[in-house]
Structure 1
């Protein structure tokens, strides 16, 4: 998972976990809501690194006249189907855009840095999904499944990313909540070639062995799991200040984890820890 995607993952934990129970609880009374939050996260310095950096995350999530929107670090989602079902069933469909900055800056490993910095990939596409509130623990817990498809329109990796995601969030009270999620990234050949292969020229510059295995075929690149939680400082998650925390684990898979960038210079095991604060209007 690249730095931008890790940051997005962190921000999703901060705000999507809050937004789901909060918006659900506000649904009967407010058709427009806004949560603004930010914090700091410790993440790998690039996708597959075993060196860690601290990065800020600033996010927004909410709805305007029942049309939901949310950002995940450098990714923005807009649900074009209004959330109006009185039974808590929500169909999701809309555009998504991401600015993928993996290996653009802050590369701590000397060998990987010697391969050269990469260009920002502008990934544009859409997502579709379904969500339901009132599943297990209360009228306000939520289960969501969606799939996003994005393709690089900036011709950096020049390929695509497909991300299925399953999320469950439940408020423990009006003051606190917990959330669990699992997701995976399925990528095209160009993605593997751009971020994981080592060319003969790159091998000479970095000392890493040449590698072309990641561009042989498309496939599942990584799987990610996270646990999140939050607590209201104002006594009610539906308004005011709240603090959030996250712990996440991502595992690189297949030919991607066998790349020298990961196997020799980094690690296929990727960890994330974060803390943040947000305000709901």
Structure 2
């Protein structure tokens, strides 16, 4: 139900672009594969840890681009490289490597009870993604992507695998305005659940929290939105301002962990605002 609702909302919002595409012959070639690079920076309001009801402000940066037909982009602390070149028409297949880090509860947390639990190590995760993208559903410039991400911690942190299915839709509403929406979910192992959300009897005694041994499965689902507005040019070059927001819901055994159910919240919000420049 959520997947269907998200796609419908995005498709309805994209409808104004149809008339502009037909009326403006100066629009760029939707199959243009020339090199491009975008760099972005801003600030975000995020949970203190995944499952917290305390929030903190943090700076962030992001990049995306295309070189010799191969695309790359960052999502949070992860970098993706799509090694499959987009065809001039038809369905676009996507595949490539992912590298990134997970920095959950590695330092001080605002909640004194959670802070009394042992800190966690930074997880160094590598893996890959594969999917398919459909172009031109509502106008020549939109894209609907279905993708599966799989990463594994190769360091000495949770030492397990995370599987994340994604559905993304994005479209320009004009030469200066772009909107996007995505829906995703994370599936984790018992080892991951125990590492980040488990509490041993000894740890619980010190922290004043009940012991808990959560199991893996679906950890959460997330709905995200993005709007990008050009300031000095159009969406293909120049300075722009963007805003993004997301809501995620922690579910299953992990949602019952005391650091979520007692000391935090199953509902997680994020908001970001920043500037981007496209070369």
| TM-score, length of structure 1 as denominator length | 0.87
- Count of aligned pairs between the two proteins: 253
Deviations 1:16-61 (A, max 9, x none): xxxxxxxx95664452110000111101000100000011110111
Judged with a 3 Å threshold, the aligned counterparts in structure 2 of structure 1 residues 68 and 88 are, in CA distance, closer, same or farther, namely farther
Question: 1:144 deviation in Å?
Answer: 0.6
SS in 2 for 1:229: strand
Judged with a 3 Å threshold, the aligned counterparts in structure 2 of structure 1 residues 244 and 271 are, in CA distance, closer, same or farther, namely same
2:193 counterpart of 1:192: yes
Query: C-alpha separation between the residues in 1 aligned to 2:177 and 2:108?
Result: 35
Question: 1:88 deviation in Å?
Answer: 5.2
Query: C-alpha separation between the residues in 1 aligned to 2:117 and 2:249?
Result: 23
2:37 counterpart of 1:34: yes
Give RMSD over aligned pairs. 1.5
Query: C-alpha separation between the residues in 1 aligned to 2:78 and 2:221?
Result: 18
Query: C-alpha separation between the residues in 1 aligned to 2:32 and 2:97?
Result: 27
The question of whether the paired residues in 2 share the 8 Å contact of 1:77 and 1:95 is answered with yes
Query: C-alpha separation between the residues in 1 aligned to 2:53 and 2:32?
Result: 47
Deviations 1:61-98 (A, max 9, x none): 10110101111231011111112x11153211111112
Q: Which residue number in structure 1 is paired with residue 22 of structure 2?
A: none
Query: C-alpha separation between the residues in 1 aligned to 2:79 and 2:239?
Result: 23
2:251 counterpart of 1:253: yes
Q: Which residue number in structure 2 is paired with residue 275 of structure 1?
A: 273
Deviations 1:88-122 (A, max 9, x none): 53211111112000111241111111002110011
SS in 1 for 2:157: coil
For residue 132 of structure 1, the aligned residue among 134, 147, 151 is: 134
Q: Which residue number in structure 2 is paired with residue 58 of structure 1?
A: 61
Consecutive unaligned residues in structure 2, runs of 5 or more: 1-26
Larger CA Rg, structure 1 vs 2: 2
The question of whether the paired residues in 1 share the 8 Å contact of 2:38 and 2:276 is answered with yes
The question of whether the paired residues in 2 share the 8 Å contact of 1:233 and 1:240 is answered with yes
The question of whether the paired residues in 1 share the 8 Å contact of 2:30 and 2:140 is answered with no
Judged with a 3 Å threshold, the aligned counterparts in structure 2 of structure 1 residues 29 and 180 are, in CA distance, closer, same or farther, namely closer
| TM-score, length of structure 2 as denominator length | 0.87
Q: Which residue number in structure 2 is paired with residue 103 of structure 1?
A: 105
Q: Which residue number in structure 1 is paired with residue 159 of structure 2?
A: 158
Q: Which residue number in structure 2 is paired with residue 227 of structure 1?
A: 225
SS in 1 for 2:133: strand
Query: C-alpha separation between the residues in 1 aligned to 2:181 and 2:263?
Result: 31
Consecutive unaligned residues in structure 1, runs of 5 or more: 1-23
Query: C-alpha separation between the residues in 2 aligned to 1:226 and 1:26?
Result: 28
2:78 counterpart of 1:80: no
SS in 2 for 1:204: helix
Deviations 1:133-171 (A, max 9, x none): 2111x1001101100111111031111100000011110
Q: Which residue number in structure 1 is paired with residue 3 of structure 2?
A: none
